[in-house]
A = this chain, B = another copy of it.
Amino acid sequence: MAKNTYMRWRLPLVCLLWEVAMIVLFGVFVRFGAEADAHWEEEKREMNLTSDIENDFYFRYPSFQDVHVMIFVGFGFLMTFLKRYGFGAVGFNFLLAAFGIQWALLMQGWFHSFKDGKIFIGVENLINADFCVGSVCIAFGAILGKTSPIQLLVMTLFQVTLFSVNEYILLNLLHVKDAGGSMTIHTFGAYFGLTVTRILYRPNLEQSKDKQGSVYHSDLFAMIGTLYLWMYWPSFNSAISDHGDAQHRSAINTYCSLAACVLTTMAFSSMLQKKGKLDMVHIQNATLAGGVAVGTSAEMMLTPYGSLIVGSVSGIVSTVGYVYFTPFLESRLHIQDTCGIHNLHAMPGLIGGIVGAITAAAATEDVYGKEGFIKAFDFTGVYQTRTPSIQGGFQAAGIVVSLLMAFVGGAIVGGILKLPIWGDAAAENCFEDGVYWEVPEDEESDVYHMHNPDKPASP
């Protein structure tokens, strides 16, 4: 069945209307935070700072840039592994993230940086907006190659909204710690995306099976994404932790976890194959599970060897997932998960939430020091009386809330995306850039022959 994938008026309309909306809302609500405002000279004195170099910019900005690279190059290139969907992978990721960060600045701003009718932003807001969009990039991984750019923008609009609500519930109402976002970003993002792709189930997707694989160079492009995610993940997990030891510790734990994860991934990638050869899919993805799995606990006293254990386990779980779970999810549960986000984000995200709950529950004043204990878990004000075990319980509740939000939200948004007005491609045209992109002329005839070896060559 031919579908109408003509974007000429629909895509521009959505992009322009939404951008106008952003401008209006930013005009009404968004202002510079104290440390980015020219009134800073006066503010500085009030904040008891003695010099410009104590501006928070200098202590968050390098991490922000690393996170920024992860969102745009990391996620973007990770998804270029498909032989004919590199433009869509990098380009649509670029589009949805660029819109998402604007909308996230507003949504998160209303919840967290709202004062006297205005949202005051600084570098930390930029990081949080990138984080929020990270969860959309994850969900994008499940539906990669099967949706139109408009669907992606619609999904971004709703997912950013739901993310912000969920984040508010977890961080503010449950007073849960989740600096690296195992729950808010990975668990929520992945199960949301899996639910959406389940709703959008395409029974005839095997018609584009020949395009679902990689070619040699597309696998190398994907490794650019993998490595940037892997290398900068310590910045991701530490970017919004408290200044000082928490941020320092967070980077170390993540570094350790990721290193261990690479070894177990390689081991299981080879072991689970009859020929014993390594599979690039695993190397590109499962090596990152160690970063996801310490997202909640990295800023806690997880300890380096604890990190190695968590990283090792998550590499194994993730690789096993690619080999056994992904085919099962597709054949039995009709969940078509293009990038295998169930293995890279969903399961490791759950591990991360659980490890976080356990690490919090096991906290003692002896390990953290008297002051460090209070600071690490923010046991001040109304939370003064919280004990570690209660905190652990709330952390666990955070996982449940994130899952519920993902399933319910994903089902509703999936339903909206199923409407036949968004211009998605027919099953046989999935995973093909030519649908939404001008593809270099010569290339096509090449590809034409490539995929139609039985057709005669051009004269």
**Chain B residues, Cβ within 8 Å of A137:** none
Q: Do B276 and A15 touch across chains, with their CB atoms under 8 A apart? A: no
Contacting B at CB under 8 A, from A81-137, are: 83-84, 86-87, 90-91, 94-95, 98-99, 101-102, 105, 121-123, 126
Task: Please give me the residue from chain B that is nearest to A434 by CB atom.
Answer: B277
Q: Do B438 and A273 touch across chains, with their CB atoms under 8 A apart? A: yes
Contacting B at CB under 8 A, from A249-278, are: 249, 251-252, 255-256, 258-264, 266-268, 270-271, 273-278
- A46 is an interface residue with CB less than 8 A from chain B: no
Q: Do A369 and B42 touch across chains, with their CB atoms under 8 A apart? A: yes
Task: Please give me the residue from chain B that is nearest to A369 by CB atom.
Answer: B39
- A367 is an interface residue with CB less than 8 A from chain B: yes
Task: Please give me the residue from chain B that is nearest to A20 by CB atom.
Answer: B312
- A228 is an interface residue with CB less than 8 A from chain B: yes
Contacting B at CB under 8 A, from A183-226, are: 210-211, 213-217, 219-221, 223-224
A137 CA / B287 CA spacing, docked (Å): 19
**Chain B residues, Cβ within 8 Å of A394:** none
A94 CA / B230 CA spacing, docked (Å): 10
- A308 is an interface residue with CB less than 8 A from chain B: yes
A246 CA / B38 CA spacing, docked (Å): 7
Given A244-B53, A448-B452, the answer on whether A266 and B95 have CB atoms closer than 8 Å is yes
Q: What 0/1 pattern do residues 430 to 457 of A give for CB contact below 8 A with B?
A: 0000001111111111111111111001
Task: Please give me the residue from chain B that is nearest to A271 by CB atom.
Answer: B12
A373 CA / B438 CA spacing, docked (Å): 49
Task: Please give me the residue from chain B that is nearest to A283 by CB atom.
Answer: B91
Q: In whole Å, how far is A214's beta carbon from the nearest beta carbon of chain B?
A: 5
- A55 is an interface residue with CB less than 8 A from chain B: yes
Interface of chain A, helix or strand or loop or mixed?
A: helix
For A62, give its contact among B62, B263, B444 (CB under 8 Å).
B62
A152 CA / B149 CA spacing, docked (Å): 41
Task: Please give me the residue from chain B that is nearest to A87 by CB atom.
Answer: B280
Task: Please give me the residue from chain B that is nearest to A245 by CB atom.
Answer: B40
Q: Do B450 and A38 touch across chains, with their CB atoms under 8 A apart? A: no
- A7 is an interface residue with CB less than 8 A from chain B: yes
A268 CA / B274 CA spacing, docked (Å): 50
Given A8-B275, A219-B87, A308-B26, the answer on whether A369 and B248 have CB atoms closer than 8 Å is no
**Chain B residues, Cβ within 8 Å of A454:** 457
Q: Do A277 and B87 touch across chains, with their CB atoms under 8 A apart? A: no
- A32 is an interface residue with CB less than 8 A from chain B: yes
Task: Please give me the residue from chain B that is nearest to A15 by CB atom.
Answer: B267
Q: In whole Å, how far is A305's beta carbon from the nearest beta carbon of chain B?
A: 4
**Chain B residues, Cβ within 8 Å of A87:** 219-220, 278, 280
Q: Do A73 and B305 touch across chains, with their CB atoms under 8 A apart? A: no
Q: Do B440 and A213 touch across chains, with their CB atoms under 8 A apart? A: yes
Q: Do A123 and B38 touch across chains, with their CB atoms under 8 A apart? A: no
Given A19-B308, A36-B249, A454-B457, the answer on whether A221 and B219 have CB atoms closer than 8 Å is no
A31 CA / B259 CA spacing, docked (Å): 17
Q: Do B220 and A86 touch across chains, with their CB atoms under 8 A apart? A: yes
- A429 is an interface residue with CB less than 8 A from chain B: no
**Chain B residues, Cβ within 8 Å of A83:** 440, 442, 446, 450
Q: Do B304 and A41 touch across chains, with their CB atoms under 8 A apart? A: no
- A407 is an interface residue with CB less than 8 A from chain B: no
**Chain B residues, Cβ within 8 Å of A260:** 19, 22-23, 98, 102
Q: In whole Å, how far is A88's beta carbon from the nearest beta carbon of chain B?
A: 9
A/B interface sample: 21 pairs, CB < 8 A: A7-B276, A11-B267, A11-B271, A19-B260, A30-B304, A32-B304, A38-B373, A39-B372, A41-B375, A53-B54, A65-B231, A65-B232, A73-B228, A73-B231, A90-B220, A91-B283, A98-B258, A126-B252, A126-B255, A215-B442, A454-B457
8 closest Cβ contacts across the A-B interface? A8-B276, A52-B244, A38-B372, A453-B457, A98-B262, A40-B245, A26-B305, A15-B267
